[in-house]
Structure 1
């Protein structure tokens, strides 16, 4: 089991490799784009495929002709690649604290934070939880551009958010730990047809992943799938070998706040093959995630020191988030280790910093600026959902018992 490759299985992986032998690049990309549009409930031509979700965000921001001092507001609970994209496009990044009960903006703080320099609000759907306050923000600030960070939320919400037409843009990610796993990849949805036309023309001129990068991505997905499907030791050993050979894909430049030499990029064909296989079975993946989230909720109900995020009916989360409180919060790492040993479940700490991950450049964030986001990042644990997770009654009982014993 794993927190990555949650929608990808070995049969899908093998079918994707075989499909590459007889489906040319252009039809494979078009087929994936169509399947993605069907999942999102939008016209196919409203989607643009990129080498990563943040590359799509960057391409969109870059077309806004941002002036020095123009602001992009982000939630104080995000990944460093998102503020990096805004920075690369010439924007000033500003963070607004979150509500620990929703993991999105503290709405009163956000309403106060918008000023004459604010051009864009990035609205998160962390873990696949629904967007909140969209109608309020659109009514209060009609001049602002609203872009949804749906990297965790591919088709996860009960209602198709793009159909509301309240957003100006939205971006999706298909990386190792996201709703679909293609290695690297992402999509951008754009409402404005003229801007979309410009972006579509420019996207065709973008470079593609090099042969070496495509090899790295393929090998890295393979190693992650080994670990996710139960061969944990072999998967880790494979990743170690790939790392020593320089064949494990990494994005260290972006973690340091540096723009890679080739950024943005087009989606590579291998990603389209893998993504299409997962989308063919995505209704089942979402249903499985829903059932698993309900099972976690029931197993942890009424447990002292543990607060689960409320999951709306019909929502399909990417991971199941819970917050440790009181005495448990101070012992998060030890509790995480105990849970893994007791249950065999991989337990994550995502996001582990206001600007995830710990040790990244943390672009523009000053410690103490957003205390609620910092508290969430310091006390968050998340449990796996997806096709490689087996939640028996005995395993869920051990999960609850371990947390009870930690509280004692």
Structure 2
């Protein structure tokens, strides 16, 4: 099976875990702090502003929780987002309001976001589709002008930049995902960034039970009664640990290699599919934009898309569409605008994500290309006969 995603781990990651076992400190500890510092350096921010978590989803929930949202408040997000973003909004009591996306890039434009804003909008959560930054700089400027908090869902964008600036640092808060399907993986894990120092400190507290100072061994030498608790507000336990941080540190060092191979695969798809009839390929990133190349998507006649996916699966090639439009999910239907989201609907009916991970050989990519061309040609002939 040629998979859509496949984690790239090996001897370096195993050795890093062995070192953790040797030290016998498996939980949140020095390797967690070292990984946070290394990731902060990767972003170009202060280490105290990032917190390693047990998932990217936890980062979304913490980000929204830190905004003191209330019932009646609105949070705008693109409909083509992962379900975690809408869930995080709903748990605060706020209402998710879906904006449209550009049908070809699958990223919201600043105009898409602006059309969804009302006097009740408290925040915007913007996803960088497939690792492509989109109009994040313009959206950040719009939010600043309106006094609205911008949360960047950078789950797919660990290496993405605009004019040299890391995606995730344009807004007020951001999170990244390191689960087993992402570019930089820790098995499960994520990182959250808060631009404001006070908010960053609060996020760190909320990530560990709301404690101002943890009561464990690590604080025994800095407090005479280290077991006493100071909890100004309740939190939960969503921090990362030294085992997953050890994997993450190795993956971060390997990130240029991992993204470089993804870039090569994208270039090969572009070259081999350039003249394929009935297919639209992803637009190239604008000047100054660097992508993480998490997704490679093609778009085709909506009458054949599902059948093509089935043909490829029968040929042991797994494809999918990410992300299904949330405004059509019954649980979030109250956030669906009228008369609809034409860009999102157009893309959702036509888009298919192809296998993309560094473990693919050039031969694998050519196998995908050949099967895709064949299926599109045959299915097109059927519907146009």
Distance 1:18 1:345 in 2: 35
Distance 1:386 1:322 in 2: 16
**Structure 2 unaligned regions, length at least 5:** 212-234
1:3/1:20 Cα in 2 relative to 1: closer, same or farther (>3 Å)? farther
Q: Is the 8 A contact 1:127 1:317 kept in 2?
A: yes
Q: Which residue of 2 aligns with 1:227?
A: none
Pick the structure with greater CA Rg.
Answer: 2
Q: Which residue of 1 aligns with 2:294?
A: 318
Within 5 A, what are the aligned runs for 1:288-327? 288-312=261-285, 314-325=290-301
Q: Which residue of 2 aligns with 1:39?
A: 42
Distance 1:90 1:203 in 2: 20
RMSD across aligned C-alpha pairs, in angstroms?
2.9
The one of 135, 151, 156 aligned to 1:152: 156
Distance 1:376 1:398 in 2: 23
Q: Which residue of 1 aligns with 2:370?
A: 398
Most deviating of 61-70 and 106-115: 106-115
Question: Does the alignment pair 1:82 with 2:85?
Answer: yes
* Matched residue SS, 1:307: coil
The one of 203, 209, 212 aligned to 2:207: 203
Distance 1:13 1:263 in 2: 29
Q: Is the 8 A contact 1:83 1:363 kept in 2?
A: no
Q: Is the 8 A contact 2:280 2:298 kept in 1?
A: yes
Cα deviation digits, residues 134-167 of structure 1 (max 9, x gap): 3355247341111111011111335454489541
Distance 1:165 1:176 in 2: 24
Within 5 A, what are the aligned runs for 1:89-128? 89-128=92-131
Q: Which residue of 1 aligns with 2:348?
A: 377
The one of 225, 238, 245 aligned to 1:265: 238
Cα deviation digits, residues 73-113 of structure 1 (max 9, x gap): 01010111111111112211111111102212254342222
Q: Aligned-pair distance for 1:332?
A: 2.0
Distance 1:81 1:347 in 2: 21
Cα deviation digits, residues 20-51 of structure 1 (max 9, x gap): 31243412212221232233232222211222
**Structure 1 unaligned regions, length at least 5:** 208-261
**How high is the TM-score relative to the length of structure 1?**
0.76
**How high is the TM-score relative to the length of structure 2?**
0.80
- The count of aligned residue pairs is 347
Task: Return structure 1 stretches of 4+ with deviation > 6 angstroms.
Answer: none
Q: Is the 8 A contact 1:296 1:396 kept in 2?
A: no
Q: Which residue of 1 aligns with 2:253?
A: 280
